[in-house]
Structure 1
Amino acid sequence: MKHVTSRGGRTKSALWTILGILAELMLTAAAICALYIAWQMWWTGVQSEHNQIETRQSVSWSDPGKSGNVTVAKAQQGDPPVQPQSATEGELIAQIYVPRFGSQWQRNLVEGTDLTQLNKHGLGHYTDSQMPGQVGNFAFAGHRNGYGQPLGDVDKLQEGDPIIVRTQDYWYVYHYTSYKIVLPTQTEVVAANPENPGATPTKRMLTMTTCEPKYSTPTHRWISYAEFSYWAKVSDGIPQELASQNANGTVKFVNNEQSSFLSSIDTLKPWIFGALAAYVIIFISAAVAWRWPYLADVRAGRRKKADFSLYGSLVRLQPGVLPIRLLLVLLLVFAAAASCFEWLFPWAASTIPMLQEMSNYTAI
């Protein structure tokens, strides 16, 4: 009877061990999925912000909002100058401001709409469309979700909302008019005359394209239209749409280009290697100071050997007392998660078909 009971107990223990391992594997898979969502919806935006700041710092554009005496630029009469006349792939064309998206919202606009530009540099200008201030259709694309979701709030735009374009020397102020939802094949929305494709354009229009729906595989495109209102000189100050005034009449630029600490991080490699280096140092120190007290207790019969589990075994195999062992495991987990952000998830988003469709918006 005693032998039968022991066998039944071992069978039951083995079953619970297997179930426990399966549960750990499922929790690990869920954690990886959660990390991927965090990477897609948050970390890609941090990287995009970093790249955009670097791009702005690389050009010699003045910053009218940082001067001691900020003024409202006078609206100019006559046809606006066209700037730039042309641009190379990836070159900074303008900075875009949309107050409806938030007082601190601004994005770079670079030449080109391939994934390199849209994923890393904010907004991308359709190379065949017109430039700011030009008669025709000044069109650009941007992500609606992930990569900083520059056009994530296009559905909040209201008729008359300003969309401000700043080039090196000029401000161009457009006002939002309407939107439509189209198929990706309907490329006429970025034609020089989207209202009557093929006809000679007579208006100065602005078109923004992004994906629809926002949170799933984009099957359509959300098209936002705006029309030109006026232009001003950067040397004269800032547009009234980007100005605020205090009780003393002092004019301030509402967008002060606040950036997060994380946007200063170019790569996670130093953090990954730093965590691994800290792990090695603490591991060796703990092994010298305490050795493996848990394993020693098991071998000496002072403690019952625990059932096998993935994470439990990982903790128990570390040297030192329990707080040190937990710290060592946390360092390994951090290094693994950061490695996913740095290498695994970018590879998956560009290689696995389903993730490609979900992660990478293709312009019209």
Structure 2
Amino acid sequence: MSDRERKKSKKPAHATQANHRVLNTALNVIGEVLITLAVLCALYIVWQLWWTGVEAEKTQISDKTTSSWSAPASNDGQTKVAQAKSADTAPIESGTWNYGDTIGKIYIPRFGQNWMRTIVEGTDSAQLNRHGLGHYHDTQKPGEVGNFAVAGHRAGYGEPLGNADKIAKGDYIIVRTQNYWYVYQYSSTEIVTPDRYDVVAPVPGHTGEKATERYITLTTCEPKYAEATHRLIVHGKLVSWSSVSDGVPSMLAQKTTSGRVTFTSDTTHSLSSRIPELSTVVLWLIVIYLVIYVAGAIAWRWPAMREYAQRPAERRIFSFYGWLMRMQSGIKPVRIVLVVLLFLIVAVFMFKWGYPWASLHIPYLQVSSNYVAVN
């Protein structure tokens, strides 16, 4: 082959550089898309396992029903320990509960001395996702002969029954209504398929049989962090009751170092539950972003855009994140702050509106929401 033919067969240098630039740009875009999807998925897990619990706790804190209830009896600032009375004489809270009404509170010391959740009427997602645990409407009241059955999430939404598999022999499950304490003691655990409605029958596991004892049944999903193909069922029996006006059950009483008896107040809540309403957070983040952006534009304009425009053409490889960084005003530290604020705005927006919508409309995410009521 002659020198002239070899020269003709070679591509011009600028053509090769252009091809490299296109390839690098494509790889950059693909990489950034994958990174973005990974971050969104990670944030969804945080939303599902943490933030839904924060919202559920906020809802329970603001429960107007329980906030108006009388505190357990005390004497000179020291909580009284109520005398346990026979389960056979347990009174039943008067009145009826409509869908969404607050029934009471549940305490399971195995989950922590300060652990408490609200129980409401109804077991659909609207109740379980916001209020803690839901009472099966066609089962008995707390303390009543028969089966007081409730459902709760095991993952996400505060995971009230996240550790249900750890309840063991000798553990207590305590329910408070407006006027009474009902103390149940754990009896057994079983794993069943969703069609086993007999687990919430008046006599658990025996449909049609007349009840002579007072039971409690907790239902939640199994397995914990996957599609809930089964249900984890926890059973207990009433062993005693007492009046709120007499104090608190001994299982919920604590002694301080000075020997005083105390009862953990229902106002003990996690720091995360004190986070302001997310719509307010988004608004403030946008205001802060605009203030810094305008200040940076006045003081320094857009130096990153000028620097990029002065680069040789072969060095201008498109990157979405690079473009986003260049679009911010000010010097590099200011631009970093602005990008971080944009990330926070998007994350808060997804927590407030994006992920709730996705969990309701994307089939796979509907499954991962872990609705746990026995069908």
TM-score of the superposition, structure 2-length normalised?
0.91
Write the distance in 2 (CA, Å) between the matches of 1:301 and 1:123: 61
- Where does the alignment leave 5 or more consecutive residues of structure 2 unmatched? 1-6
Aligned residue in 2 for 1:24:
32
Aligned residue in 2 for 1:156:
166
Give me the CA root mean square deviation: 2.1
* Matched residue SS, 2:81: coil
Q: 69, 82, 85: which one pairs with 2:78? A: 69
Aligned residue in 2 for 1:147:
157
Aligned residue in 2 for 1:285:
295
Q: 1:58 to 1:242 in 2, by over 3 A?
A: closer
- Contact kept? 2:152, 2:372, Cα under 8 Å: no
Write the deviation string for residues 39-89 of structure 1: whole angstroms up to 9, x where unpaired. Answer: 000000000000000015764112238871212111124511101442111
Aligned residue in 1 for 2:13:
5
Aligned residue in 1 for 2:188:
178
The structure having more radius of gyration, on CA atoms, is 2
- Superposed, which structure 2 residues align to 1:41-190 within 5 Å? 41-55=49-63, 59-64=67-72, 68-77=77-86, 79-190=89-200
Q: 1:299 to 1:147 in 2, by over 3 A?
A: closer
Write the distance in 2 (CA, Å) between the matches of 1:91 and 1:85: 12
Q: 1:290 to 1:58 in 2, by over 3 A?
A: farther
- Contact kept? 2:66, 2:178, Cα under 8 Å: no
Query: What amino acid is aligned across from residue 297 of structure 2 in structure 1?
Result: A
- Where does the alignment leave 5 or more consecutive residues of structure 1 unmatched? none
Write the deviation string for residues 125-162 of structure 1: whole angstroms up to 9, x where unpaired. Answer: 01100001100000000000000000000110111200
CA shift, 1:302, in A, is: 10
Write the deviation string for residues 272-302 of structure 1: whole angstroms up to 9, x where unpaired. Answer: 1211122222222211111112223444569
Aligned residue in 1 for 2:4:
none
- Contact kept? 2:66, 2:104, Cα under 8 Å: no
CA shift, 1:13, in A, is: 2.5
* Matched residue SS, 1:288: helix
Write the deviation string for residues 143-187 of structure 1: whole angstroms up to 9, x where unpaired. Answer: 000000000001101112000011111110000000111111111
Q: 342, 347, 357: which one pairs with 1:347? A: 357
* Matched residue SS, 1:64: coil
- Superposed, which structure 2 residues align to 1:29-44 within 5 Å? 29-44=37-52
Query: Which region of structure 1 is more displaced relative to structure 2, 91-100 or 73-82?
Result: 73-82
* Matched residue SS, 1:30: helix
Write the distance in 2 (CA, Å) between the matches of 1:340 and 1:140: 31
Write the distance in 1 (CA, Å) between the matches of 2:358 and 2:299: 42
CA shift, 1:4, in A, is: 2.4
Write the distance in 2 (CA, Å) between the matches of 1:22 and 1:130: 57
Q: 1:124 to 1:279 in 2, by over 3 A?
A: same
Q: 217, 222, 247: which one pairs with 1:212? A: 222
Residue 228 (structure 1) aligned with residue 238 (structure 2): yes
* Matched residue SS, 2:220: strand
Write the distance in 2 (CA, Å) between the matches of 1:332 and 1:247: 49
CA shift, 1:256, in A, is: 6.0
CA shift, 1:304, in A, is: 8.9
- Contact kept? 1:136, 1:203, Cα under 8 Å: yes
Query: Which region of structure 1 is more displaced relative to structure 2, 39-48 or 240-249?
Result: 240-249
- Identity rate, percent: 45
Equivalent residue pairs, number: 364
CA shift, 1:244, in A, is: 2.3
Aligned residue in 2 for 1:314:
324
Write the distance in 2 (CA, Å) between the matches of 1:53 and 1:322: 43
